[in-house]
Amino acid sequence: MGAVITGWGKCRPPLSLTNADLESLVDTDDEWILERTGISARGICHLETTDMAEVAARHALAAAGLAATDLDLIVMATVSPEISCPSNACVLQERLGAVNAGAFDLNAACSGFVYGLSTATSLVSSGVAQRVLLVGVEKLHFLIDYRDRNTCVLFGDGAGAVIIENDPRSGGDAPGVLGVDLGADGVAGSTMVIPTLGTRGELSADRDPAQHRLHFEGQAVFKIAVKGMSESVQRALQRAGLTSDDVDVVVPHQANERIIRAATRRLGVDDDRVVVNIETHGNTSAASVPMALCDAVTDGRISPGDVVVFTAFGGGVTWGSVVLRWGDRVTPITTSDVELPAPTVDVYEVLAENRAFFQPLYD
């Protein structure tokens, strides 16, 4: 028994933080950002993590033609949860009315969706679950110092979701997972750190802006990312008995366009087989792969039976790749018109609290 993706959906927040906006917040300019990252704009959410997750999930359920009560399990990948307990997956379960589903959160940073895809497909293939909702979602702007031009130009908010169901077919051309590679290097974990969303340190109502912000070492991350993703894909393809020539579409983590191009060229995969939407989304961590997948399906870039490779790297340091043969359907069974409520504030007002919090670092 195999596991296939039967539904897909995304939530890109309606507010955009453009490069022109950033020029008024930090010492940078559109040309500098675009040349180094490939990003022109990124979504900024005026609501919460679970609000985005719910929108993406409802679109995925509609595409699969399922009700929330059909779900056996909900897995949410995120590093920016609304709360620690209950899990955000449990909050989403209540929102959706998925009363028959188990639920848990998963944290593998930007690799979270790929780790979740490996987990969910394994559970479906083994018969533990029949229908799984997997969501990648992030509200990263909450963690960002918008005076630090090395990080604030990169990250955005968003959510992407898929439905994974069992498929009874077997054999060489059957849809489902063909190969998986997961890995981590805790020694290199200091290159990407969110230090204050845990139990380390003293109980306090106060947060230190010097400690609270995302720590990100760009040059080190670049080298780790290119090597990690390309070698992970090679291992996953080897386990699938395939080569890069057999790959129809690569859906990589949207970290930085230069990283994506360097990694996929190292694999020998042409640019026209690589899905890139970072220009309008930014780096959305665990949400980036499912959001890019949703765009690829919507744009007609994936066909029935295609060999699709998902690959990512993230804090930890983690990396992972899943090679999957797509199922029969690339059109949604039904659609949903659900969306986030329209914001009543502009993007500068949403970011004002961040700016005020980190101001003492620059006084």
Q: Position of tokens 């066909």?
A: 303
Do the beta carbons of residue 291 and residue 299 sit within 8 Å? no
Give the count of alpha carbons within 13 A of 133, CB side only.
43
Strands 192-193 and 176-184 come out as unpaired
Q: Residues of 125-161 as b/e, b for ≥16 C-beta within 10 angstroms?
A: beeebbbbbbbbbbbbbbbbbbbbbebbbbbbbbbbb
| 257 phi/psi in degrees, rounded to 5 | -60, -35
The angle, 0 to 180 degrees and rounded to 10, between the axes of the packed helices 257-267 and 30-37 is: 20
H or E, element range at 6:
strand 2-11
Positions annotated as catalytic residues are: 110, 253, 283
**CB within 8 A of 224, min separation 6: which ones?**
185, 188, 191, 313, 317
**CB within 8 A of 75, min separation 6: which ones?**
89, 103, 104, 105, 106, 116, 119, 120, 132, 133, 134, 135
Determine the number of helices (DSSP H) and then strands (DSSP E) in the chain: 12, 13
Q: How far apart are CA 138 and CA 113, in angstroms?
A: 11
Q: How far apart are CA 221 and CA 217, in angstroms?
A: 6
